[in-house]
Structure 1
Amino acid sequence: MPESSYPKSLDDAIAFDAADPLSEARAAFSIPDNLTYLVGHSLGPVTHNALKALERAAQADWRNDLVGSWNTANWIDLPTLLGAPIAKLIGVNADEVVVCDSVSINLFKLVGAIARAYGSEARIIVEQCEFPTDQYILERLSEQMRLDFVRAPAQTGFENLQRGDIFVRSLVDYRTAEVADVVEMEALAAQAGAVVVWDLSHASGILNLQLADWGAKFAVGCTYKYLNGGPGAPAFIYVSADHVDELETPLAGWLGHAEPFGFSDHYVAAPGVTRFVAGTPPILSMTALKGALDVFDQLSLADIEAKVQRLGDMCLATFAALGLRSNSPPIGIRRGGHVSLIHTDGYAFSQALAKAGFKTDFRTPDTVRFGLCPLYLSYSDVWRAMQTLSAILESEIYLQPEYAVRAKVT
């Protein structure tokens, strides 16, 4: 690897690419020609193995074996089978993660179960900057359980914690890519008699997570971003084995029963984290995810995180050189898998970049996010994206009316 901490020229970028231990991972993905895809933080691209898994599930299993595929293709065990490779990616035991439902539903189930265990002491705390759906779900859950709901100012949620508090926090901020200090926050929570529930949606698959070593006990996360599970892919729940037997899910469902095919009138929780499975798993989405996760088998999370930091530093250096503002952690400071550019014409920037073959996304009111997934993006790709941004800014092409027309999804 070159001595420079990040590429500062096209020649540097080419040299970094030549020494990149992740360079072969790009071949696992099916990405359109002439497109540099900088939106893996929102929806990861499809892998060849995911497409093959979908084809096999539809043509061989569903088409030929029909309902028998619950046994012959082991559909029934997919929630736990998929939990094991995800557990490896977040640094916990294989039997502590289960794949099911969505992040919103899983957050409802997990926080509801913890609150039920705490009883009347429980308060649910989020910060004002938290991802909106987390806030919506938790506020409504608080109303239903008649618990205090606290929406704390940004960066203050871990202050003044008290016994019974349940603090829900994204490990990586969806706007800025700031990374929370898990060890510090877990220590503060433990000292107060509180717990933290982590949302890993912008962290899993892009950072070298070691949740067990860091003291984290509870988490949820999605699989359609850096895990490349596809649109609508199911989410996951992590509960430390030391705590799972204390919890009762508020959404008791058939496949979370200890003996689902015993057809008992009364619910008995399955052992371990499987109790958080509720309804029938989305089998086609799960098989796509199973194929997608294969890409991580031979890769180092340390290499993934190191590369994403260099790609981000390269972007931030370009922003600074162009006089543009970012709210992401500065060069040399740990961040998640994207960097954010702040500009009043941000939406127009994103549209002009897309027309030039560089797909980003936009978050109101003024944020362009550049997703920097290192599995399929090279240093040269990102260097060219930054040069294109510079050309768009210099030419002022983004001021053309066509780039101001807002789509429903930005």
Structure 2
Amino acid sequence: MSDYSFDTMQIHAGTAPDPATGARQVPIYQTTAYVFRDADHAARLFGLQEVGYIYSRLTNPTISALANRVAALEGGAGAVCCSSGHAAQIMALFPLMGPGLNIVASTRLYGGTITQFSQTFKRFGWSATFVDFDDPAAIEAAVDDNTRAIFCESISNPGGYITDLPAVAAVARRVGLPLIVDNTLASPYLCRPIDHGATLVVHSATKYLTGNGTVTGGVIVDSGTFDWSASDKFPSLSQPEPAYHGLVFHQALGPMAYTFHSIAIGLRDLGMTMNPQGAHYTLMGIETLSLRMQKHVANAQAVAEWLERDPRIDYVTYAGLASSPWHERVARICPKGAGALFTVAVKGGYEACVKLVDSLNLFSHVANLGDTRSLIIHSASTTHRQLTEAQQIAAGAGPNVVRLSIGTEDAADLIADLDQALAAATA
């Protein structure tokens, strides 16, 4: 499918008419297990000598169709779907990590990711070092003998900051580590991190891929280009696996080694499985991804420009604005647009932000983003509440800031709603 355009692949990639019934839409295979042809067939499946279906914790035809479609859109060799975006982050790191090992991560990350990396990882014996990814030298200086990955977001939550992926990828290549990029906010329509040097791409399918606030899900896409055997840092992939009679995944499976390991070991033992109905909803959402993202971006640009001119606003962080320090990266990293998520600093501080949120009519006050509906949240009192004020400010979620996720409604209606709510908030 790589010969086709994005608009065609988002409808057709990874799917074909159902061979049993001819159904054109991907069926929901709502089954736990699959009948083996005979004992030899079962043995070959369990021995990874043949690809097929065993148990839906591992593989399921509906979920496999989604994985194949997202892999095609991202330009990857393979993909694995799981139960949420947070699950995708754990799954992505699981084959690489072990007690005493660490990752180097951007300071500009979703607050829940910062908490996962800085607190929950400790229970696995993992750790994270956070640095400013605008400083490649700082990234490289933070890497030590125990570092196993570099992690960032293509467009960061909540500020809409765009990471200079080629510069970060150059560091990753120099130190011989995989670069993992969370591409949730851009979607593969606006940015393909693998084209910029990423090794792995993770998504919260909950957001733009599905696009309508009905699903929780995650996806990990492998570029298939990293040499897992170049050093002794990744024994799960480069050394014999005891659970598979000494199979060496990278030696046996080449570019698909990481994907098969994530299914055969990751999903088998962690059980972070996506449900087939959620996969079906996400497949349907992806069919209109390019159309939705074009409208999201156009609306975000219009709303951000209006807010930047409004005297009740201190600043707007949207990278699509000419005044943004990240504006030059749009053409290089996200040439189809700067996304639809950004923050706004409201004059009047914390109290004005709370009043703004409570005064809006069209914008929904929810802890989500990437919906067709426009959404707002005061991050400092919600998604980033667990962070210190200094951490909130560093993450772009200070007390005087609200986060906007611009939907696909009429831009004039969204501006009118913000206008009346700002009047109430700053009266």
TM-score category, normalised to shorter length: 0.5 to 0.7
Deviations 1:189-240 (A, max 9, x none): 21243432112222225x4222332221122221011012755522111222
Deviation (angstroms), 1:348: 2.0
- Could you tell me which amino acid in structure 2 is paired with residue 338 of structure 1? L
State yes or no: 1:352 paired with 2:359. Answer: yes
Unaligned runs of 5+ in 1: 1-21, 26-52, 251-256, 259-263, 401-410
Letter in 2 for 1:214: H
Query: Aligned pair 1:243/2:226, yes or no?
Result: yes
2:95 aligns to what? 113
Normalising by the residue count of structure 2, what TM-score does the alignment of the two structures yield?
0.61
Tell me what 1:128 maps to.
Answer: 107
1:317 aligns with 2:305: yes
Task: Mark the CA change 1:180 to 1:160 in structure 2 (over 3 Å): closer, same or farther.
Answer: closer
Q: Distance in 1 between matches of 2:228 and 2:65?
A: 20
Distance 1:146 1:296, change over 3 A: closer
On the 8 A contact 1:169/1:197 being kept in 2, the answer is yes
Structure number with the bigger relative contact order (C-alpha 8 A, sep ≥ 6) is: 1
Q: Distance in 2 between matches of 1:366 and 1:341?
A: 8
Question: Could you say which residue in structure 1 is the equivalent of 2:164?
Answer: 181
Q: 1:112 to 1:294 in 2, by over 3 A?
A: closer
Closer, same or farther: CA 152–82 of 1 in aligned 2, 3 Å: same
Query: Alpha-carbon deviation of 1:99?
Result: 0.5
2:67 aligned with 1:83: yes
CA distance in 2 between counterparts of 1:342 and 1:180 reads 21
Partner of 1:276: 262
Which structure 2 residues correspond to residues 28-67 of structure 1 after superposition, within 5 A? 57=28, 62=30
1:99 aligns with 2:81: yes
Query: Which structure 2 residues correspond to residues 336-351 of structure 1 after superposition, within 5 A?
Result: 336-343=339-346, 344=349, 345-351=352-358
- 2:172 aligned counterpart, secondary structure: helix
Map of 1:162-241 to 2, 5 A cutoff? 162=143, 165=147, 166-204=149-187, 207-228=189-210, 230-231=213-214, 233-241=216-224
Give the match for residue 385 of structure 1: 414
Q: Give, in whole Å, the separation in 1 of the partners of 2:127 and 2:272.
A: 33
Q: Residues 355 and 311 (structure 1 numbering): CA distance in 2 closer, same or farther, change over 3 Å? A: closer
Matched-pair contact (CA < 8 Å) for 2:75–2:194: yes
Residues 297/142 of structure 1: CA separation in 2 closer, same or farther (3 Å cut): closer
Q: What residue number does 1:34 align with?
A: none
What amino acid sits opposite 1:76 in the alignment? N
Any conservation in 2 of the 1:223–1:289 contact (CA below 8 Å)?
no
- For 1:210 and 1:187, the matched residues in 2 are separated by 16
Distance in 2 separating the partners of 1:203 and 1:76? 27
- Report the TM-score, using the length of structure 1 for normalisation: 0.63
Preserved contact between residue 179 and residue 336 of structure 1 (Cα < 8 Å) = no
Percent identity, aligned pairs only, is 12
Which residue identity is paired with 2:403?
Answer: R
Amino acid at match of 2:191: L
Cα deviation, residue 267, structure 1: 9.1
Alpha-carbon distance in structure 1 between the residues aligned to 2:96 and 2:54: 33
Compared CA separation, residues 68 and 115, structure 1 to 2 (3 A): closer
Matched residue type, 1:91: G
Aligned to 1:367: 401
One-letter amino acid of the structure 1 residue matched with residue 419 of structure 2: S
SS in structure 2 of the partner of residue 177 of structure 1: coil
- 2:132 & 2:55 partners in 1: Cα distance? 52
Q: 1:292 maps to which residue?
A: 282
- Contact 2:206–2:216 (8 Å) recurs in 1: yes
8 Å contact kept, 2:139–2:171: no
1-structure distance, mates of 2:54, 2:228: 28
What is the CA–CA distance in structure 1 between the aligned matches of 2:191 and 2:203, rounded to whole Å?
Answer: 13
Distance in 1, matches of 2:127 and 2:402, equals 35
Deviation sequence 1:71-119 (CA, Å, 0-9, x none): 89996344432111112332323xx211123333332343343345xx9
Report the CA distance between 1:151 and its aligned residue.
2.5
Q: Alpha-carbon deviation of 1:172?
A: 1.3
